[in-house]
Amino acid sequence: MAAAPRPAPRSIAARRRAPATAGVTTTERIVESLTTAIVERRLMPGTKLVEQKLADIFKVSRTLVRQALMQLSRDKLVTLSPARGAFIATPSVEEAREVFEARHLIESALIQRLAKSITPAQVAELREHLREERAAVQRTDVPGRTRLLADFHVVLARMLGNHTLAELIEDLLSRSSLISLMYQSAHSAEASFAEHVAIVDALEKRDAKAALKLLEAHLHNVEHNLRLHPRVPDLETALKPLAQ
């Protein structure tokens, strides 16, 4: 009997949707700490991640560190090289621009369709999502606000009932997530939230023209406001507070 095929690694978005477990493994703790260091701009593109140094910081074996780095590599947050080791990924700005171009094309059609079919219950769902966004922005929850600001666009896609479209947008968001996570300032996060509110207001009025104009301006602003000035601090300084 042929062996059953191994399941493909879950995407960042899929893991976010999975129910939270009661405990957090050591590997997950390392992954979460490194991710937090990236999104808070403690670790920037090109930072070398030395396995032994990470093992010393987290007081674990190099095997557990290697497992965490492999997971981060699948999430495209870390680049693994057999000859050179592990590094915080250095995303291509040109690739990010291409992703935003694709999002403009897809989400422009999406928002116009949704404006014609949105229900009061869906508006209420969007308002609840906005309340979560506002709370994350106000408490300067960088990972939380980044996830919620991105998920807003996935929620819009799901409301059309087209799962393929929703997955496509999730994929586009994942491909640009590293740049958005690292380079979105608190000011641009607040601006994104305000723009989301305006989009929902237009959707509630079923004003497709206004919703389209607001969405296109929003995507342009998100891309324009990304801060592309990487710095590479000391690895131990960046991670030690998170490893306690």
Average pLDDT per 10 consecutive residues for the chain, totaling 244 residues:
43 44 74 80 85 95 95 87 90 79 94 97 98 92 80 94 90 72 71 96 98 96 67 63 70
Can you give the pLDDT at residue 230?
45
pLDDT attached to residue 114 = 97
Structure pTM? Answer: 0.65
The per-residue pLDDT for 132 is 96
All structural domains of the chain, each given as residue ranges with its CATH number in brackets, are 24-90 (1.10.10.10), 93-225 (1.20.120.530)
Assess contact for 39 and 143: CB atoms under 8 A.
Answer: yes
- In Å, what is the CA distance from 169 to each residue of 78, 106, 158, 178, 224? 22, 8, 10, 15, 20
